[in-house]
Structure formats: C-alpha cells, structure tokens
C-alpha cells in the first residue's frame, strides 16, 4: 500500500464513465419499466453509491477515504446506458478508484437487471474522465475517445 502519511489533505474529485451497450429491444423494455426487479437506473444509482463507499474493500491496495459526495448519473442513450459518476473527498490520496468502482457497480447492476432479456450485453469504456487535486496535478481525458455513445434520448432527473 502506498504510504500517504506525509501527504497533505487536499480537496480531491474524480469523474468516471462506463457504457452499457444495449440493443433497441432491451432498451425499450427497460424504459417501459416492465422489469420485475424495479427501475434499473435507480437501482444502478444506489448500487454505484453504495459500492463507492466501500472501494477499499473491492480494491486491495486502496486507502479508506472519507467521501463527502458521490453522484451516479445514468443516462439512456440510443444504443445503451451511459453511466457517469463523480466522487469528492478531502483526502491525502485521490478518489479515482472510488469513481471507477461506482461506475462499474452501476453498469453491472444495469446488466443484472436486464440480463433476462439479453445475456450478451457488454460493458465498455470504463475509464477515468477527469481528476482534480493532489500533487500529480489534474487529469482530463480527451473527449474524442468516447466512441460508443450516440445521441442520448432520455435525460434522467436533475443531478442529485
């Protein structure tokens, strides 16, 4: 485990992304809320938030961090569900893994909710979008790399 004892506490944030590729048929079924398990996007949101808080249990060498904000934002697009997460903390190390874990858990939950309709659903583009804070400086991914998402059709309720 990296020793962060001597680092100073600074404000950290990270944004991560995941994309759940889905066929129009599955997307349509999902949007009609006919799923017997509940609203997939809301369950995915909760799953992402819950997982982010426990990142240091999933990822062996992550430090436990006192997160002050976790936002998991799923959006229905023409060809799938885009997950965007944001995590914030005042800490001695960054929250990149927390944002990525939230995105992964949310995406896997969408899969779980829809797998009865299509077991072939693929999760792709799980990556860090940006981070701020810390000595290594800020990072911002080149947006042109986003290749899967087509025009989104449904905006979820405003940010929470």
Residues numbered 42 to 101 that lie near a second copy (CB under 8 A) are 42-43, 45-47, 49-51, 53-54, 56-71, 88-90, 92, 96-97, 100-101
Decide if residue 28 touches a second copy (CB under 8 A). no
How far is the C-alpha of 87 from the C-alpha of 115, rounded, in Å? Answer: 28
Decide if residue 141 touches a second copy (CB under 8 A). yes
Decide if residue 152 touches a second copy (CB under 8 A). no
> What distances in angstroms separate CA 19 from CA 13, 22, 60, 86, 110, one per listed residue?
21, 9, 25, 15, 10
Decide if residue 139 touches a second copy (CB under 8 A). yes
How far is the C-alpha of 120 from the C-alpha of 111, rounded, in Å? Answer: 9
8 A C-beta contact, residue 125 and residue 146: yes
Q: How far is the CB of 151 from a second copy (least distance, A)?
A: 22
In the residue annotation, 39 being an active-site residue is answered as no
Decide if residue 107 touches a second copy (CB under 8 A). yes
């Amino acid at each position: 485990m990296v020793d962060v004892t001597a680092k100073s506490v600074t404000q950290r944030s990270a944004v991560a992304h995941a994309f759940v590729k889905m066929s129009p048929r599955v997307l349509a079924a999902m949007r009609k809320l006919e799923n017997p398990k509940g609203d997939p996007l809301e369950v995915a949101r909760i799953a992402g938030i819950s997982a982010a808080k426990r990142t240091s249990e999933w990822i062996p060498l992550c430090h436990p961090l006192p997160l002050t904000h976790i936002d998991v934002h799923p959006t229905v697009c023409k060809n799938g569900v885009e997950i965007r997460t944001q995590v914030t903390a005042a800490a001695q190390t960054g929250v990149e893994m927390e944002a990525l874990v939230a995105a992964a858990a949310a995406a896997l939950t969408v899969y779980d909710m829809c797998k009865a309709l299509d077991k072939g659903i693929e999760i792709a583009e799980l990556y860090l979008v940006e981070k701020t804070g810390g000595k290594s400086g800020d990072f911002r991914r080149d947006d042109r790399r986003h290749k899967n998402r087509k025009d989104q059709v449904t905006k979820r309720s405003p940010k929470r």
